[in-house]
């Protein structure tokens, strides 16, 4: 549970109650009730300052996300949004939000600072060549931590990326970890949470949304028609989060990694 004293110091206000929220496996998140009746969300972790900067960039792009209230040390205080059951309108709103996010383009592929999912680092040094970024900064980021046979297959696949990916797609602003659990559906639409931003091919976020489920058609109604061949490239973009899960959570994700590799003939 987040530290009450640290939260009070960040807010400059007394806390009356803390209640844990689901926040993934790599951070602690709590709903914070303040003595004045207000409610906020507190998140703790070593990279919350980077997350706050990402959320501010997302907001500047016109995509809904929680407002950053305060950052102090390893505590991030966010606006509390009321969650609602996702329906057709919510998924369409998510597509529209994602389109606005991806319209905010960078000058290169990458980000101004590296990031991490726990022990899995995300090197983000910019490049001008997208297949090179996907190979060097993602698929080959830490081959020494993967099972030897998987690492060898990923390395062989990485040598083919120039033939499988567009060289210079628009460097869209990406959420970077956009599975359904990182979308907060509200009565007003859909908000993006827990980002891992960088600039890259917009299909990365679409592929992640399809990794653990099948979004309804309203997503693309709001987003627009992706580039031809996007479904063929999906497994290549899903391979990266599958490798992250294999590293962080163990052999139970070996089948997911293998499925992506087989789909790619690797």
Kindly list the catalytic residues.
Answer: 177
What distance in Å separates the CA atoms of residue 145 and residue 257, rounded to the nearest whole number?
A: 14
Question: Cβ of 128: how many Cβ atoms within 10 Å?
Answer: 13
What distance in Å separates the CA atoms of residue 194 and residue 29, rounded to the nearest whole number?
A: 11
Residue 87, CA distances (Å) to 26, 65, 188 in order: 28, 18, 11
Output the CA torsion sign for 244, 228, 91, 168. positive
Instruction: Answer yes or no: are the C-beta atoms of 159 and 143 closer than 8 Å.
Output: no
- Which of 174, 220, 143, 147 shows the shortest CA–CA distance to 58? 174
User: If you write DSSP's letter for every residue of 238-262 in order, what string do you get?
Assistant: HHHHHHHHHHHH-GGGHHHHHHHHH
What distance in Å separates the CA atoms of residue 142 and residue 248, rounded to the nearest whole number?
A: 12
212 contacts: CB under 8 Å, gap ≥ 6 = 179, 180
Output the CA torsion sign for 210, 98, 205, 23. negative
Distance of CA 129 to the CA centre of its chain: 21
Which helix (DSSP H) or strand (DSSP E) does residue 151 occupy? helix 148-158
DSSP summary character for residue 144 = G
């Amino acid at each position: 549970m987040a530290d009450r004293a640290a939260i009070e110091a960040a807010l400059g206000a007394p806390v009356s109650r803390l209640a844990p929220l689901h926040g993934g496996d790599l951070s602690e998140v709590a709903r914070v009730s303040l003595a004045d009746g207000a409610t906020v969300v507190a998140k703790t972790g070593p990279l919350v300052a980077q997350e706050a900067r990402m959320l501010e960039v997302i907001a500047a792009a016109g995509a809904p996300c929680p407002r950053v209230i305060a950052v102090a040390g390893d505590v991030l205080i966010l606006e509390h949004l009321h969650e609602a059951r996702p329906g057709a309108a919510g998924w369409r709103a998510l597509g529209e939000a994602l389109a606005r996010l991806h319209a905010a383009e960078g000058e290169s592929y990458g980000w101004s600072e590296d990031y991490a999912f726990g022990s899995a680092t995300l090197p983000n040094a910019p490049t001008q060549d997208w297949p090179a970024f996907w190979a060097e900064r993602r698929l080959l980021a830490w081959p020494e931590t993967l099972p030897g046979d998987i690492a060898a297959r990923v390395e062989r696949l990485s040598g083919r990326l120039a033939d499988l990916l567009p060289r210079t797609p628009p460097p869209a602003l990406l959420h970077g970890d956009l599975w359904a659990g990182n979308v907060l559906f509200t009565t007003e639409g859909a908000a993006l949470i827990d980002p891992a931003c960088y600039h890259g091919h917009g299909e990365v976020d679409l592929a992640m949304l399809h990794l653990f489920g099948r979004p309804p058609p309203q997503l693309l109604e709001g987003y627009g028609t992706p580039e031809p061949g996007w479904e063929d490239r999906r497994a290549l973009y899903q391979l990266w989060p599958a490798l992250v899960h294999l590293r962080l959570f163990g052999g139970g994700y070996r089948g997911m990694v293998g499925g992506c590799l087989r789909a790619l003939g690797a």
